[in-house]
Structure 1
């Protein structure tokens, strides 16, 4: 007679395929946020002695064996006193991370070659201070091609082989009782596209460095990496400007208004003089009272020289987008992507996003 199959082994102690979890799978399990917050509960903390802690344990063992061999009472007292201190250090190190709350903060985009900054908010709701906490991530050395999905691991976060990851600089933080703080993690931006924050490792070696306590946090943070602007990019292909007219009108809007500017003429009233632009250019300029904008300037992928490769084209277009500033109306044409002419910070950000994600389409 067959026995019904029990599902008791498919709980927390078993893997999804029914076999028992190994130590490596326990460390890879997900540590995602609940309502946007990752709380470091006791079941999510891991503790092991450091190299210094192992050496100190060997020293205590040698002191204990010596005291037993020679029946030294003071040796016993000193050995057990140090063992008690070690136990207190282990609990203090464990308590230093217990019940901390970690949540996602602000994220800043970056250009290729720079570092993207991910901010994490850490809240200490306990009445004891938290000293010497550190956060670090493993940055992927292998650049990901935009449009190709990243490799996923069983825990749910993007992963790579250990040989292709490098540890980044750790961010440290000390919090007083009932206080909050921020950890700024800097990831190298090696290639344009989406940059996702890998699994964050939070650790502490307080108080004496005898034990290392750590935990993980999988936070859904991502940013964009823009192409590196070309260092010595040629001038933008501007359209014909009204500067060639007889009256010398310029198609550049003034900083303190939207009026069109022209060269100063004798008899122009003083209140019509564009003082800021005149000081910047070194020649007298007057406002005409016409609210006309600059002519549209198209930054076209197909108008670039044929000898430029894909990344060089994107770098030149990125340099032109940045050089346009907030006043000049520009449009962007890429293969299968077109952004109509516009100006301002939001329009510039949309153009940079299209350059970062190409050949993907920018999000609307």
Structure 2
């Protein structure tokens, strides 16, 4: 027990902050500590006080207590930058394995005052995002989290802090979100052929119209979050501009493989057995993910062992359900 005192202390500290879906910052869960600049400021006050006492300097007393009063006022102001904020997340963040997941944190101002220089970061990351929150408003902040492995993961602890106004003190708090992060398998590249039972010569298929970049740039069903390695020509520039203006991520167009430029008028049902030629379970999930990506927005379904069958359907919500099912596979 005593070999790792800091780890034991950290475990005790985290046990006192249970996971929560939301966090309301109040005076009792906001902590204030001096920064290195604050410690130097305190040492300066002591030197000024000793010099004033030793030399009986009236102006020295005045300067010392003026600076001391400013420091005490800044303590209250620093703590008030966090107290009154309410943090939440709308839905479980999700993304593809090997990239990063955008976690959207919503800051709700409930105290009716301005909150300046509020910093947010996950404890596993050194990069911090600083924002100002206006009275009685809601601000969305996107933080990136690496997604090295597929599955359902716990979000790292979020640290919220402020050093306003003088940087002498640091008010901070932590939030352990109960909302999980969902990491989907990365689609197989290059895109594999369709299963043998789904062929271009099948009577359930019709020729797909020629690729119209302008029309598909405006069709949100053909868009997905940008993945590292996407060619610049796949970027949906207009949709990306709208997404970035709303605090979102760049968007790429999703197109079918050149050799399979056709469109199914009948629903497709992808089955785990369709990937029997692959022995690695992760490779099988990646292939199913690639088929789902290229079948969207047409109607398709998914059958996985140990999970309920997802009947063929269309739309972004069904697309998300299928990808989530792949992420939950053991």
2: distance between equivalents of 1:91 and 1:51? 18
In the alignment, structure 2 segments of 5+ residues that lack a partner are: 1-8, 216-263
Structure 1 contact 135–202 (Cα < 8 Å) conserved: yes
2: distance between equivalents of 1:74 and 1:46? 34
Corresponding position: 1:233 with 2:191: yes
Corresponding position: 1:179 with 2:137: yes
Alignment of 1:57-76 (within 5 A): 57-76=42-61
SS of 2:292's equivalent in the other structure is helix
Q: How many residues end up aligned between the 2 structures?
A: 270
Q: Deviations over 1:212-269 (max 9, x none)?
A: 1112234431242100112223222353657489xxx95357799xxxxxxxxxxxxx
Q: Deviations over 1:10-49 (max 9, x none)?
A: xxxxxxxxxxxx898466413665xx65322221111110
Structure 1 contact 32–38 (Cα < 8 Å) conserved: no
Structure 2 contact 272–305 (Cα < 8 Å) conserved: no
- Provide the aligned C-alpha RMSD in A: 3.4
Q: In the alignment, which residue of structure 2 is the partner of 1:141?
A: none
Shift of 1:110: 0.6
Q: In the alignment, which residue of structure 1 is the partner of 2:206?
A: 251
Q: In the alignment, which residue of structure 1 is the partner of 2:154?
A: 196
Structure 2 contact 267–301 (Cα < 8 Å) conserved: no
Shift of 1:300: 3.9
2: distance between equivalents of 1:27 and 1:68? 46
Corresponding position: 1:314 with 2:285: yes
Shift of 1:349: 2.9
Q: In the alignment, which residue of structure 2 is the partner of 1:130?
A: 115
Q: In the alignment, which residue of structure 1 is the partner of 2:75?
A: 90
Task: Indicate the structure with greater helix content.
Answer: 2
Corresponding position: 1:43 with 2:28: yes
| TM-score, reference length from structure 1 | 0.63
Alignment of 1:258-277 (within 5 A): none
Corresponding position: 1:305 with 2:260: no
Q: In the alignment, which residue of structure 1 is the partner of 2:321?
A: 350
Query: Of residues 62, 76, 90 in structure 2, which corresponds to 1:77?
Result: 62
Structure 1 contact 239–296 (Cα < 8 Å) conserved: no
Query: Of residues 5, 14, 17 in structure 2, which corresponds to 1:30?
Result: 17
Structure 1 residues 62 and 186, CA, compared in 2 at 3 Å: closer, same or farther?
same
Structure 1 residues 130 and 311, CA, compared in 2 at 3 Å: closer, same or farther?
same
Q: Work out which of the two has the higher radius of gyration on C-alpha atoms and give 1 or 2.
A: 1
Corresponding position: 1:324 with 2:295: yes
Large movers: runs of 4+ above 6 Å:
253-256
2: distance between equivalents of 1:91 and 1:105? 31
Q: In the alignment, which residue of structure 2 is the partner of 1:206?
A: 164
Structure 1 contact 122–181 (Cα < 8 Å) conserved: yes
Structure 2 contact 188–289 (Cα < 8 Å) conserved: yes
Shift of 1:52: 1.2
Shift of 1:86: 1.0
| TM-score, reference length from structure 2 | 0.69
Structure 1 residues 356 and 84, CA, compared in 2 at 3 Å: closer, same or farther?
same
2: distance between equivalents of 1:178 and 1:314? 45
SS of 1:136's equivalent in the other structure is strand
2: distance between equivalents of 1:213 and 1:178? 21
Shift of 1:304: 4.3
Structure 1 residues 336 and 324, CA, compared in 2 at 3 Å: closer, same or farther?
same
